[in-house]
Structure 1
Amino acid sequence: PTLYVPDAQRGIAAIGAAGSGKTFSVIDPLIRSALDQGFPMCLYDFKYPAQTKRAVAYAMKRGYTVRVFAPGFPESEICNPLDLLKDEEDAIAAGQLSNVINRNFDRSGGNASSDKFFEEAGDSLIEGILLVTKAVSTLTGDDKYCDLMMAQAILSLDRLPLRLEAASR
């Protein structure tokens, strides 16, 4: 049976002890309801692939295009964050991405006091490196290496400031 929830708002909670059937009796029916109504879906499957198997089969029967991002599993798609940048001039997206990357690498959990200058300088550096990486793709006509590994390789170059200055002439 499907539990139809025509106006589901964020914040639905399924509470119960481990193994009490929350997923089977509440979460799975909510997923089916959303798919039946044609809503886009992003499913985080903590016990992958248990729930994903059921949801993918149901979604595909309803004509959904399904993509799976599950690092370490052969069926996983690739997620390249640099694909979010339109081109080497998309500073807004690069700035947002650099901010997210730097905050995710903050091992203090955001609790430690930090020097605002260095925080902003780090964001600006990563933003610039992401744009340079995207520019390599444009200049070579090949986006084969337009990924975070290329950005890391550029960031690790000896005398990077001198190289960038020479390239701008």
Structure 2
Amino acid sequence: MYKSVAASSDYQPAPPQPLKPPIEWSTGLCDCFSNWSNCCITFWCPCVTFGRIAEIVDRGSTSCGASGALYALITSLTGFGWLYSCFYSSKMRAQYNLKGNDCLDCLTHFFCEPCALCQEYRQLEKQGFNMVLGWHGNVEQQTQGVAMTSTAPTVEQGMNR
């Protein structure tokens, strides 16, 4: 009879892995000098910056255009676009194990939405994303170096010296 591992009395589950401490953001909230073009776009049209951030954080499940349009609609109708972007800040913090908390995210987005969006944009750039390409463009760029062949490699016949 076969004995299952789960039914074995000497089965010990693996100990839980210790949580890594959260890391600092790569740039400060007001470090806009490193990317003036994004700073200007965010000041005049924050929906573009937000859309780019949301597409990367959602791993391509929502497009930059759709997220940016929804952000613009919420902001223009209610003035609560900062609350929508605050949700993405929290989601991004969790994905990349960044320091902060939900309360701090909301306060930052409420009082200084453009600075918060610029900081998140810079953080994703530091993570290696080309923000202009979007999620799918970044995935395609990363997989370009991987060559996939559809045929088996050729094998030489016989023994040669």
User: TM class by shorter-chain length?
Assistant: under 0.3
More helix per residue: 1 or 2? 2
Structure of higher RCO (CA pairs closer than 8 Å, 6+ residues apart) = 2
TM-score by length of 2: 0.23
The structure whose Rg is larger is 2
TM-score by length of 1: 0.22
